[in-house]
Structure 1
């Protein structure tokens, strides 16, 4: 990965910001463990513990996610909503996720229930950020019906499990990370990690099947690295 050089060092950190940002990037982009990232850095003559890498991921993952949210276009007004069980610390929790028609993730929310109250909280959070949707697609969970009718009365609500394949596929990276991390330890950890993970993957996982090789290499990938370099320059403590 091409990194910018001669950037000011972060106050209180022994390693340059480029090294810290590289660790955060590979951890999220390639579904690696902190031990894997430790080995990648060691190959580059950077000796750092996996505990330190985990601290970097926690501390700066949110920074990159916030920058991406700030700069990305507004999501499409056709939303897919779904919820999936995500056990944390031995207790059942539910990960509520929204995906727009382009496959991007506007928001996620980890909640203890799969109820109408939880659906209302999530939908209200989405509408406060992005306005009312034109179309909402869900499965046949009854908890969605009244909140959507109350909060987005003008939306076309389509409740059909077969129409929601787009968001069903978006849960796969989460399952992969859960397996790698041995489950999330708390709802706060899951919310913090997945909020950053989904946003970073939005930038570095374009819909490649829709792009020619030239478009992918010269534009999509180059633009993604250019954005990332700009976000590195904005890092602060």
Structure 2
């Protein structure tokens, strides 16, 4: 049980009146498994907890950014050989774009949700990823001209350029990673706003990184994936 949440989570809890343990459980289930909000409403009802599906959504929007912020310092370092790609996510009936990369071992480097798929979006993604993870030695991308242009723009400001490899067939690691995200998103039946999509996708990515073992446990004690997620609120 979490008795004293950290300051960031405490701020997010304003006007949320349910016990934190219940809220964290619902939010974790939502971003960890292919469940709709109405599934969660029914599941909590079976546990004698009366909560509306829209309330669960509000908890997710409030808590996930705070938990993501807490995860930052706990994230393990990634390798310097990246595989980068993007995928389509529907928001209000229109396609938007989730950029991300994994390293050679399949660990998530970083992610960014963008309204457009162009050079500016690709450059913004690489700038964010480099700022938070350091400069890679090599980046592998598909045949996307926008991604290549974004990387070339990054290299234009560097004395030692990042090596760029383009291949339609060598990005299997990151494409397999796509499937895990799409599996969680599918029951959500699309997003109603870009902001909500960005937050929920960030939570799914957070849960996915924890599941892949990317969270540091400084005391050396083995914790389950669920325990690690709840630890972020402490």
TM-score between both structures, scaled by the size of structure 1: 0.81
- Partner deviation per Cα, 1:171-222 (whole Å, 9 max, x = no partner): 1133234421111223222211111211112113459xxxxxxxxxxx76x2
Alignment of 1:201 with 2:208, yes or no, is yes
Higher helix share: 1
Q: CA 1:128–1:26 in 2, change beyond 3 Å: closer, same or farther?
A: same
Summarize the alignment of residues 13-32 of structure 1 with structure 2, pairs less than 5 Å apart.
13-32=16-35
Which residue is 1:90 aligned to? Answer: 93
SS in 2 for 1:162: coil
Q: CA 1:6–1:117 in 2, change beyond 3 Å: closer, same or farther?
A: closer
Alignment of 1:168 with 2:168, yes or no, is no
Q: Which has the higher contact order (CA 8 A, sep 6+)?
A: 2
Alignment of 1:67 with 2:70, yes or no, is yes
Aligned residues of 1:94 and 1:114 also touching (Cα < 8 A):
yes
Which residue is 1:180 aligned to? Answer: 187
Aligned residues of 1:69 and 1:199 also touching (Cα < 8 A):
no
Which residue is 2:229 aligned to? Answer: 228
**Structure 1: 5+ residue stretches without partners:** 208-218
Alignment of 1:123 with 2:126, yes or no, is yes
Q: CA 1:109–1:228 in 2, change beyond 3 Å: closer, same or farther?
A: closer
Tell me how far 1:18 sits from its aligned partner.
0.8
Aligned residues of 2:23 and 2:59 also touching (Cα < 8 A):
yes
Tell me how far 1:170 sits from its aligned partner.
1.5
Which residue is 1:48 aligned to? Answer: 51
Aligned residues of 1:17 and 1:232 also touching (Cα < 8 A):
no
Q: CA 1:226–1:181 in 2, change beyond 3 Å: closer, same or farther?
A: closer
Aligned residues of 2:33 and 2:184 also touching (Cα < 8 A):
no
SS in 2 for 1:22: helix
Which residue is 1:191 aligned to? Answer: 198
**Structure 2: 5+ residue stretches without partners:** 215-220
SS in 1 for 2:90: coil
Tell me how far 1:166 sits from its aligned partner.
0.9
Aligned residues of 1:64 and 1:200 also touching (Cα < 8 A):
no
RMSD (Å), alpha carbons:
2.5
